[in-house]
Amino acid sequence: MKAPQIIAAETESPASRYVNREMSWLAFNSRVLAEAEKDRYPLLERLRFLSISGSNLDEFTMIRIAGLEGQASRGIESPGIDGASPREQLRAIRAEVLALEDRQQAVLTELRARLAEQGIEIADVSQLPEIPRDWLRDYFETDILPLITPQAIDPSHPFPFVANSGMGVLFALEREHGGELMEMVLIPSGVARFLRVPGEVAVYVAIENLIVSFAHLLFQGFRIKGSGVFRVLRDSDIEVEEEAEDLVRVFRSAIQRRRRGRPVLLELDENCDPEAEALLREEFDVASAMVIKTEGMIGLRHLEAICAEPRADLKFAPFSPRYPERVLEHEGDCFAAIREKDIVVHHPYESFEVVVDFVTQAAHDPAVVSIKQTLYRAGDQSPIIAALIEAAQAGKAVTAVVELKARFDEERNLKWASELERAGVQVIYGFVEWKTHAKVSLVVRREDEGYRTYCHFGTGNYHPVSAKIYTDLSYFTADPAYGRDAAKLFNFVTGYVEPHDLERLAVSPLTLRETLYALIDTEIENARAGRPSGIWAKLNALTEKGIIDRLYEASQAGVEITLVVRGICSLRAGVPGLSETIAVKSVIGRFLEHSRIWAFANGAPLPSRTARVFITSADAMGRNFDRRVELLVPITNPTVHDQVLDQVMLANILDTERSWRLDADGVYRRMAIGSDDDGAGFNCHAYFMANPSLSGRGAAIEDKAVPRLSLRNRTA
């Protein structure tokens, strides 16, 4: 395939052409944090966004910062896409992380004050009245003291091991009869971070604050000179050697090693005792790690627990997903509905229960002979797993491809794999060097005309909890061509049989990249020939250099390109001579945008019936094209094609209320809420919550029951 012919921009440095991946990710988390700063959001929703920002930053530290530090420590100078070395990236990252930490603490300070006015306090024990203090003291003596273990630190008691994400308190003590001592109290990982004091007013106390406040009950016979709360994050990436003989055993061992990974971040409270701080810095060898001293609270990810407080007045108005109308029209029979016509379901606006019902019905249906299912992240309580177990126990042939390399879900997936195997499911772990990230379920059913294959293709995981907050697409079809391709995909994963002569699907790491390259090249050729051209894409991340370079070439050929990229984007948009016809935006709001869609004009202005539309499990990243098994699924059914292109894709492009625009200087700026001609904004999340089921919109749109979306009319 021909390489893209890029016209030289004014400046040829990599930094002028590409945005550093890590800095783009930090910009994404800054946008998430901005949701917590939004004054018009309900207070507990703002607190939730703050906890998400903290959780995101933790994972970034444990994976991305850890990886760069590992490269720097080994003398590896391989540059990022923008030409920056690992050390240069680390310097920029540290400055941005510190700025984010300061913003997070400022938001927490504001929210604590605002929530207290509404009867929800995140309190310090020392500031509480006598009655709740007495209750907390009793609770500490009866419930906490038996759980915690003070550990002296001296020549005969070496510094204790602190696991990844571990939190503790280091105390500087003085004996009543002379002599000083350091003692550590590690907070057990199974203990809830926040304790709610009984009463009408919701008072929450952090467990570390409780331990510090009543430490004198633990260290009787000592004077407490000072203390310091700390938390440690460690390198958490898991690497698997290609020659691994037993993948399950390797991962069980790797999960244990991750607990003991190299320290990457040491967080300390601002008032940490100087002796305690010196000891912590020495023991955790933080010369190669970041140290952050925080005036407020460390470990903000745990604030999510407080968001469960039953205060509807401080949360978004409740929303109940609708069950797909097309399936209801067939009295809940998924197979009958799919057999009549292909169906697309838009989560979370339409219930994930239809996916569960698809697999559950297959498990119970005596006509079903076989089920094949990929599992990447399935959650703690998975109805999909339960249905597969039922199917196997009913004597059906059930195959589950369980991906052990799903980051931070490895232990849970090992558990599911064990349960599935005990039930008689044929469990496959996929490839050693690649992750199986494709989302597909294949059901073979014996019918009057012979065997018929039903398929589900998704952009998101088979995870019932995340499906309530992630926007994703589920595509159901009984088209035999899709079934034949899906069967070949499973043969590839289970038996290494490469799929040849695929009729519909493109599969990475075999053909997906080349397929996208060719589709972009066609738009370039159309533009140069004076034919209509255009590209729309909705992704979570865009970092693959080949895709970016082709999009640059397309822009220089005159192709109008609109990209909705929620997170990382290494492409520079709107740069004269390079990308001036490319617009990039990011939608951040109540729901996490997760669906991946590509649309190519194909000789007619977008949107049109002749456009080529695809959904995919893959983002435009090197790892998705080279180190993962992914699917690119063409949408050929006319009704589904229009629903995906004219509704889902177009609504994201038209959104102004939840959108950030990436400008030519590389900075994201909020789009004006009233950016339309009549001064009204458009909120794609509100639009989909308010309108009828996507699976029934073919008739609804014709009857004008659903507002038509148009590039000319941006109000709905």
Active site residues: 437
- Residue 359's alpha-carbon distances to 154, 256, 386, 438, 485, in angstroms, are 58, 34, 10, 17, 19
What is the dihedral angle through the alpha carbons of 472, 429, 338, 612, rounded to the nearest 10 degrees? 60
Scanning 143-264, the segments in alpha helix (DSSP H) are: 207-213, 215-218, 247-259
The C-alpha atoms of residue 330 and residue 451 are separated, in whole angstroms, by: 21
Strands 222-234 and 263-269: antiparallel
The position carrying tokens 């100087």 is 274
Q: Is the dihedral of CA 403, 408, 414, 417 positive or negative?
A: negative
CB contact at 8 A, 298 and 209: no
Q: Which of 544, 484, 471, 474 is nearest to 512 (CA)?
A: 544
454 - beta bridge partners? 443
108: Cβ–Cβ under 8 A, 6 or more apart, which residues?
50, 296, 297, 300, 303
Q: What is the SS3 assignment for 159?
A: coil
Q: How many CB atoms lie within 10 A of CB 667?
A: 10
Q: Which of 428, 342, 389 is nearest to 629 (CA)?
A: 428
The position carrying tokens 């420590």 is 73
Q: Which residue type sits at 538?
A: K
DSSP state of 703: T
CB contact at 8 A, 453 and 483: yes
660 - beta bridge partners? 586, 670
Rg from Cα positions in the chain: 27
The C-alpha atoms of residue 582 and residue 574 are separated, in whole angstroms, by: 6
The C-alpha atoms of residue 386 and residue 416 are separated, in whole angstroms, by: 10
CB contact at 8 A, 649 and 632: no
Q: What is the SS3 assignment for 331?
A: coil
Strand stretches in 239-324, DSSP E? 263-269, 290-294
DSSP state of 287: G
DSSP characters over 317-358: PP--PBPPHHHHTTTT-HHHHHHHS-EEEEETTB-THHHHHH
